[in-house]
Chains A and B, each alone.
Chain A
């Protein structure tokens, strides 16, 4: 189950996208996300689709792998789409009993579907091409100005990277504890929701105890290695923009310009739906 979720994973490959600076990719994702919420007609999505398709191609990540990320949200996706389809008032296209499908409903359901799908595709493409470390480094640098308003940027980034380090360890540990309790006759699979929730206590308590013990050990080990927060720290792998990043920023700005122009003029084009 958990293994099926590909969102947030890193997919190692040698592509231009993998080599770009994480700050650029974070900014690019932000611009992309804004762009998909910019339009009310389908014209805009032609540009978005071309853009998305070309970066997917460039990333060298197999489309099948990317699409698997959608599996995790398929329920939410269908749910929102159905709601939009059935509950939007407007010009009725079809009526079955008390269920009405309106033109406006169809319109917003389709838009919602496209937006959510593109949102997942775009943002998971970023994580597929960026290692977790680069991602936290990028975030730390982008959020750096927020330090002035007392946001603990370094600490947040450090927490994220430690979480990334320990998630696989804790998952493995969960499996071990589960087996150990099953060896004592525990049952995690049957029973109603209350019985199941109660059944989780023998799993969660040891897991928390272990997580706290690990946190304690790690804090001590970090202090023993002279860790004292972000002040005065240097970086083994500092982020540096390269020529290709500049080029990518230009492409990104060009894309932004195109989508803005389309969003201004889209109302003057013939209505499709």
Chain B
């Protein structure tokens, strides 16, 4: 069974004027199909306004489909009795680190989810400790979130989700407001959770460098999935990506340019070492 299955999904934001008449309809998602296997690390790439965040909110049952169906762990998100189980099994981390931390002490914030689920006190403590350990924040457990850096706050938010024992984490642009350090911390943390705890990860982003180690990448544009495949396949499409308001890491672009200039370099280079090796083989 898939962790997440999205079938013919469409979603419309409807704006109404004061009398309730429809003023405008914005079709944010327009016919998306997507399967995510358990244990996968999936990245969804897209420019601002491509519909990627709207898609993410469907997986957590914060938004419901206008058309089509979303299943999480086999549960249909449109059926109301499933909501809480869906939200527990597919936790969500948001963009702004400040706006998702509820409590004034780190450990209490991590305990917030389990408290809502009615987990007994002793077990909450165990879960909080384990989750903070998993994101490497245990030493900060007594601190106020206001004293943490952006990257640390995001890791607390991830711990807060982990404490609910989810099967899947959806991260909606978790690094958009972080500095490079915080960004690396968050990305390596979710890779670790994916590998060690077998958590399915769905990472929404527009930072290309964050997706190179994903199992599969989906590219969205104007509410549709326009490209999908391995990072290598996606990054061979430099021109297409640029037409979707995205770009590629410098090394990929350089490899692409050199290939265009006639050098014998493989498609979809992702790492500095790869390009160096390929160039080393070229005879002068």
Residues of A within 8 A of B (CB): 131-133, 161-162, 164-165, 168-169, 213-214, 217-218, 220-228, 232-238
What is B's interface to A at a CB cutoff of 8 Å? 60, 62, 84, 87-88, 91-92, 94, 96, 98-105, 107-108, 111-121, 124-125, 128, 145-146, 160-161, 164
Assess whether A221 is in contact with B99, with CB atoms less than 8 Å apart: yes
Nearest CB of A to B274, in Å: 38
Which residues of A sit under 8 angstroms from B108, Cβ to Cβ?
Answer: 133, 236-237
Residues on B with beta carbons closer than 8 Å to the beta carbon of A223 = 62, 87
Q: How far is the CA of A241 from the CA of B91 in the complex (A)?
A: 35
Chain B residues whose C-beta falls within 8 Å of the C-beta of A214 in the assembled complex: 96, 98-99
Contact of A217 with B99 at beta-carbon distance under 8 Å, contacts A228-B84, A234-B119 already known:
yes
Given contacts A133-B108, A165-B101, A214-B98, contact A236 B121 (CB under 8 A): yes
Beta-carbon contact of A233 and B116 below 8 Å: yes
Contact present for A218 and B100 (CB under 8 Å) = yes
In the complex, the answer to whether B118 meets A133 with C-beta atoms within 8 Å is no
**If the complex has contacts A132-B104, A218-B102, are A165 and B116 also in contact, measured as CB distance less than 8 A?**
no
Say which residue of B113, B128, B145 sits within 8 Å of A226 (CB atoms).
Answer: B113
4 shortest A-B CB distances, which residue pairs?
A: A236-B111, A217-B99, A221-B100, A226-B116
- 15 additional contacts (CB under 8 A) given A133-B108, A217-B96, A223-B87: A164-B104, A165-B103, A168-B146, A169-B146, A221-B92, A224-B60, A224-B94, A225-B160, A226-B116, A226-B117, A233-B116, A234-B115, A234-B119, A236-B111, A236-B115
Pairwise interchain contact A236-B62, C-beta atoms closer than 8 A:
no
Which of B103, B120, B164 lies at the interface centre, i.e. has the most chain A CB atoms within 10 A of its CB? B103
- In the bound complex, do residue B116 and residue A227 qualify as a contact, i.e. CB atoms below 8 Å apart? yes
- Docked Cα-Cα span, A237 to B124, in Å, equals 9
Given contacts A214-B98, A233-B115, A236-B121, whether A226 and B87 have CB atoms under 8 Å apart is: yes
CB pair A225 B125 closer than 8 Å:
no
* B118 near A234: Cβ-Cβ < 8 Å: yes
CB-nearest residue of chain B to A226: B116
Does more than half of chain B's interface fall in helix, strand or loop, or is it mixed? helix
Once A234-B120, A236-B125, A238-B121 are accepted as A-B contacts, the answer to whether A225 and B87 lie under 8 Å apart by CB is yes
Q: Which of A132, A169, A225 contacts B113 (CB 8 A)?
A: A225
* Contact yes or no, B98 A220, CB < 8 A: no
Q: Chain A residues near B125: list those with CB within 8 A.
A: 236
Task: List the A side residues contacting B91 at CB < 8 Å.
Answer: 224-225
Among candidates B94, B105, B112, B161, residue contacting A227 with C-beta atoms closer than 8 Å: B112
- Assembly CA distance A224 to B160 (angstroms): 11
> Can you pick out 25 interface pairs between chain A and chain B where the beta carbons lie within 8 Å of each other?
A132-B104, A133-B103, A133-B104, A161-B103, A165-B101, A165-B103, A218-B100, A221-B102, A223-B87, A224-B62, A224-B87, A224-B92, A225-B91, A225-B113, A225-B161, A226-B84, A228-B84, A228-B116, A234-B118, A234-B121, A234-B124, A236-B108, A236-B111, A236-B114, A236-B115
Closest chain B residue to A238, Cβ basis: B121
Q: Is B94 touching A235 in the complex (CB atoms < 8 A)? A: no
CA gap between A222 and B84 in the complex, in Å: 12
Question: Contact at B105–A133, with CB atoms within 8 Å?
Answer: yes
A21 to chain B, nearest CB (A): 16
Interchain nearest-CB distance for B173 vs A (Å): 12
User: Chain B residues with Cβ under 8 A from A234's Cβ?
Assistant: 114-115, 118-121, 124
With A169-B146, A224-B60, A226-B84 as contacts: A161 and B116 at CB distance below 8 Å: no
Q: Smallest Cβ distance from B232 to chain A, in angstroms?
A: 33
How far is it, in angstroms, between the C-alpha of A168 and the C-alpha of B160 when the chains are bound? 22
A168 and chain B: residue at smallest CB distance: B146
Asked if B160 and A236 make an inter-chain contact with CB atoms under 8 angstroms apart, the answer reads no
**In the complex, which residues of chain A have a beta carbon less than 8 angstroms from the beta carbon of B121?**
234-238
Partner of B94, one of A133, A162, A217, A232: A217
Residues of A within 8 A of B100 (CB): 217-218, 221
Smallest CB-CB separation from B95: which chain A residue?
Answer: A217
